[in-house]
């Protein structure tokens, strides 16, 4: 198949791909609003009984539970924090993305979710060091969603991993994204952007998804959030949560120093902090999934 035909097939796949449930779109919209409160989040979640039940079960799992059981959603949200709750909602309601093995990247669905979650936690921490103090809520959500394009593009690269590796070894392409582009005339960042555009996600998320490997190409007003996700993505890889064969095959754009004020010591501290939090969340979600 010609490259342009493959791209057309990928675009058709984006069109056919399921839309996240309305509750996710409402949750993302409310998080985007900087004046929102925890009650707005509770109001949205409680409209979905099965999601509410899932959140209560995670809140009562060993990792979070204190002495007394938590039996109301608002207490669960206060206990865990709204970002963790948002993460649980995205995982639970976007199964078509996060329950898929990314065979083209040699990455299981569990590892894909782990990378997304670790990037989100890192993004929230890094957001506090951005020059314009971007919202930690938006950074967290963008961290979870940044690689959604892989859910579609994976099957289109699966038979050509060796060829892509060959291009990379010979220096014919600079990074994994360029290898994808050379193979199928698009890449996971662009495909993710197509998906998020179709779902009418807010502009900050769209740009974070599209430019997370090429932050210098985005217009100036989105550079803080995009550099934050760019650095968080690499931080997740350093923390041992990459997504398979493409881990570390992307460049860190050193221009991040113009948008994020983060010394080596602070980055080491973030690495420690995110590991601890990651273990707590991933473990509690896993236990609830298995029971
Ligand atoms: Fe990526
Ligand atoms: Fe990533």
Residues 278, 137, single domain; the answer is yes
Cβ(228)–Cβ(218) below 8 Å: no
Q: Give me ligand 2 centre to Cα 141, in Å.
A: 13
Rounded distance between C-alpha atoms, residue 245 and residue 156, angstroms: 15
Work out the mean pLDDT of the chain and round it to a whole number. 91
User: pLDDT class for 112, splitting at 50, 70, 90?
Assistant: very high
pLDDT at 24 over 90: yes
Q: Give me ligand 2 centre to Cα 280, in Å.
A: 21
Question: How is residue 66 written in tokens?
Answer: 């204190």
- Of 46, 68, 93, which residue constitutes the final position of a domain? 93
Residues 14, 66, single domain; the answer is no
| Predicted pLDDT at 248 | 84
Residue carrying structure tokens 């979710």: 113
Residues 138, 268, single domain; the answer is yes
Residues 55, 137, single domain; the answer is no
Cβ(244)–Cβ(106) below 8 Å: yes
| Predicted pLDDT at 65 | 66
Q: Give me ligand 2 centre to Cα 190, in Å.
A: 13
Rounded distance between C-alpha atoms, residue 64 and residue 81, angstroms: 11
Residues 72, 173, single domain; the answer is no
Residues 60, 181, single domain; the answer is no
Percent of the chain with pLDDT over 90: 71
Q: Give me ligand 1 centre to Cα 98, in Å.
A: 15
Residues 7, 113, single domain; the answer is yes
| Predicted pLDDT at 291 | 65
Question: How is residue 234 written in tokens?
Answer: 């690499």
Q: What is the mean pLDDT of residues 147-165?
A: 94
pLDDT at 133 over 90: no
Q: What is the mean pLDDT of residues 110-128?
A: 94
Burial class (CB in 10 A: 0-12, 13-18, 19+), 213: buried
| Predicted pLDDT at 243 | 86
User: Residue 177: nearest ligand to its CA?
Assistant: 1
Q: Domain residues for 216? A: 3-19+95-290
pLDDT at 176 over 90: yes
Percent of the chain with pLDDT over 70: 98
| Predicted pLDDT at 74 | 93
Phi, psi of 202 (to 5 degrees): -65, 160
Residues 225, 100, single domain; the answer is yes
Q: Give me ligand 1 centre to Cα 236, in Å.
A: 11
- Of 93, 122, 149, which residue constitutes the final position of a domain? 93
More confident residue, 291 or 279: 279
pLDDT at 58 over 80: yes
- Of 48, 77, 93, which residue constitutes the final position of a domain? 93
| Predicted pLDDT at 3 | 80
User: pLDDT class for 281, splitting at 50, 70, 90?
Assistant: confident
User: Residue 111: nearest ligand to its CA?
Assistant: 2
Number of domains the chain is built from: 2
| Predicted pLDDT at 71 | 86
User: Residue 214: nearest ligand to its CA?
Assistant: 1
- Stated pTM of the model: 0.92
pLDDT digits (tens, 9 = 90+) for 198-238: 999 999 999 999 999 999 999 999 999 999 999 999 999 99
pLDDT digits (tens, 9 = 90+) for 74-89: 999 998 888 889 999 9
Residues 132, 13, single domain; the answer is yes
């Amino acid at each position: 198949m010609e490259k342009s035909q493959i791209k057309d097939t990928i675009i058709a796949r984006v069109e056919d791909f399921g839309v996240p449930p309305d509750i996710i779109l409402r949750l993302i919209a409310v998080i985007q609003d900087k004046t929102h409160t925890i009650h707005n989040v509770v109001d949205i979640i409680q409209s979905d009984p099965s999601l509410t039940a899932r959140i209560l079960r995670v809140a009562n799992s060993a990792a979070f539970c204190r002495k007394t059981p938590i039996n109301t959603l608002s207490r669960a949200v206060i206990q865990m924090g709204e970002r963790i709750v948002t993460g649980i909602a995205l995982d639970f309601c976007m199964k078509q993305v996060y329950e898929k093995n990314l065979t083209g990247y040699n990455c299981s669905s569990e590892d894909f979710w782990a990378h997304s979650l670790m990037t989100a936690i890192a993004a929230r921490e890094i957001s506090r060091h951005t020059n314009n103090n971007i919202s930690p809520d938006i950074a967290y959500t963008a961290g979870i969603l940044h690689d959604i394009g892989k859910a579609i593009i994976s099957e289109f690269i699966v038979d050509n991993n060796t060829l892509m590796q060959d291009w990379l070894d010979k220096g014919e392409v600079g990074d994994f994204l360029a290898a994808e582009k050379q193979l199928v005339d698009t890449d996971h960042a662009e495909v993710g952007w197509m998906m998020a555009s179709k779902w009418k996600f807010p502009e900050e998320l769209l740009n974070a998804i599209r430019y997370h490997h090429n932050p210098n190409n985005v217009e100036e007003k989105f550079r803080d959030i995009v550099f934050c996700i760019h650095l968080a993505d690499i931080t997740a890889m350093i923390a041992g949560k990459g997504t398979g064969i493409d881990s570390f095959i992307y460049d860190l754009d050193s221009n991040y120093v113009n948008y994020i004020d983060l010394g080596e010591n602070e980055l080491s501290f973030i690495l420690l902090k995110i590991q601890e939090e990651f273990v707590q969340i991933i473990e509690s979600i896993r236990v609830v999934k298995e029971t």
